[in-house]
Amino acid sequence: MADDRQISKSLSYWLRHNPTAGNLTLDPSGWAECVAILDALFAAKLPHEHSDLLRVVEGSDKNRFEISADGSLIRARQGHSIAVDLDWPRATPPEFLFHGTVERFLQAILSEGLKPMARHHVHLSPDENTAKIVGARRGKPVILRIAADALSQAGKEFRLAGNGVWLTDHVPPSHIERL
Ligand code: HQG
């Protein structure tokens, strides 16, 4: 439904980048009150029942949002450009993780490594197919294979977000291979 897509886009914008635009306050871990979100949806002339919010959160293809156990709070699982402490657990990655990008970024990536750019972390996918979908947002996808286990053993910190996306601060060129 077109409205659901617009609700999802608005949630992404408010919860990752600009809470003020929705008149919202986020706590240090990025949570906003569901009630405040319903008000923001109302102000944006979008469907604003609690059920509308739940439907969009549950229908998100990438599990972008998380509702607190008591149902009163909502946050984006990752992708922020504003400062939030996401407190995802440190985890030991599998041997390889994947990153989907496009040809025009390759030269920079292979010389300076993968950088978070506008986000807080480099986002890595658990499988090639997911990486392909991520890369395809920008054009013909190029898949990079990351030697994640080797990096982890060398002390690099990896965190696993609730939706299966792996987060880290930087991937050096030495551990990137183009597939
Ligand atoms: C590239 C979406 C030049 C990087 C997706 C990427 C994902 C460099 C772009 C999630 C570089 C950043 C994240 C360097 C990295 N020089 N370019 N040194 N290092 N890049 O969107 O990984 O729909 O911030 O390859 O599905 O594409 O938002 O990161 O192309 O899960 O929920 O710089 O966002 O999910 O782009 O995507 P992004 P991403 P959502």
Convert the pLDDT of each residue in 138-174 to its tens digit.
999 999 999 999 999 999 999 999 889 999 999 999 9
Task: Enter the pTM of the model.
Answer: 0.85
- Where are the strands (E) in the chain, listed by range? 32-33, 65-67, 73-76, 97-102, 122-124, 141-146, 159-160, 166-168, 176-178
Atom of ligand 1 nearest to the CA of 111: 18
CB atoms within 10 A of CB 99: 21
pLDDT of residue 85: 87
Query: From ligand 1's centre to the CA of 123, what distance in Å?
Result: 7
Q: Ligand 1, atom 14: nearest CA belongs to which residue?
A: 109
Residue ranges, the chain, pLDDT below 70: none
pLDDT of residue 153: 96
pLDDT of residue 115: 98
Domains defined for the chain, CATH in brackets = 2-76 (1.10.10.970), 97-178 (3.20.170.30)
Question: What is the C-alpha separation between 77 and 133, in angstroms, rounded?
Answer: 19
Return all residues near 155 (Cβ < 8 A) that are at least 6 apart.
none
pLDDT of residue 60: 84
pLDDT of residue 154: 94
pLDDT of residue 19: 97
pLDDT of residue 106: 98
Distances (CA, A) of 134 to 80, 100, 152: 16, 5, 23
The CB of 13 under 6 Å from ligand 1? The reply is no
